């Protein structure tokens, strides 16, 4: 069984607080608006698995920080990427595996999820749209 204490501070790009079964997850990059990169890409799948496996979570609220939900791609977080035509099969396999885990684990969360979208979502809007309720703040 997964417990809140085992994952609450495990992920660099998710701040988590829970009270009375309501888990608020806040997407961020160093306390600022989330910039997409390899960090969030690799962390969110395992984080959603942990969240979904915790029986004490009754409702999930997902929100962001600042003026946008997800602002842009952080090239320093992604690292130097080759043009897509030059990426190795191993690199593509890792990208595919991460995104599959992210989406499947998000969809496997059985309690209601609310996306409180705090501003524009220029990258990966599906994170909010796949929630049960989407509120544009």
Domain ranges of the chain: 4-136
- Which pLDDT belongs to residue 77? 43
pLDDT, one tens digit per residue, over 96-131 is: 888 899 999 999 999 999 999 999 998 899 999 999
Select which of 86, 108, 110, 126 is catalytic.
126
- Residue 101: CB atoms within 10 Å: 17
User: Of 37, 3, 4, whose CA–CA distance to 13 is shortest?
Assistant: 37
* pLDDT tens digits, one per residue of 47-85: 999 999 999 999 999 999 999 999 888 765 444 555 566
Annotated catalytic residue 108? no
Give CA–CA dist 26/37, Å, rounded: 16
pTM of the model: 0.88
pLDDT at 66: 92
H/E run at residue 112: none
| CATH superfamily ID and name for 4-136 | 2-enoyl-CoA Hydratase; Chain A, domain 1 (3.90.226.10)
Given this model, what pLDDT does residue 98 score?
Answer: 87
């Amino acid at each position: 069984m997964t417990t809140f204490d085992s994952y609450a501070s495990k992920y660099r790009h998710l701040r988590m607080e829970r009270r009375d079964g309501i888990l608020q997850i806040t997407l961020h990059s160093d306390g600022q608006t989330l910039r997409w990169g390899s960090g969030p890409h690799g962390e969110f799948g395992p984080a959603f698995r942990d969240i979904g496996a915790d029986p004490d979570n009754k409702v999930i609220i997902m929100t962001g920080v600042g003026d946008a939900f997800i602002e842009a791609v952080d090239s320093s977080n992604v690292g130097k990427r080759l043009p897509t035509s030059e990426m190795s099969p191993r690199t593509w396999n890792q990208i595919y595996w991460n995104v599959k885990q992210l989406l499947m684990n998000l969809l496997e969360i059985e309690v209601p999820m609310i996306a409180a979208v705090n501003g524009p979502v220029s990258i990966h809007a599906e994170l909010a749209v796949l929630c049960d309720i989407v509120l544009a703040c």
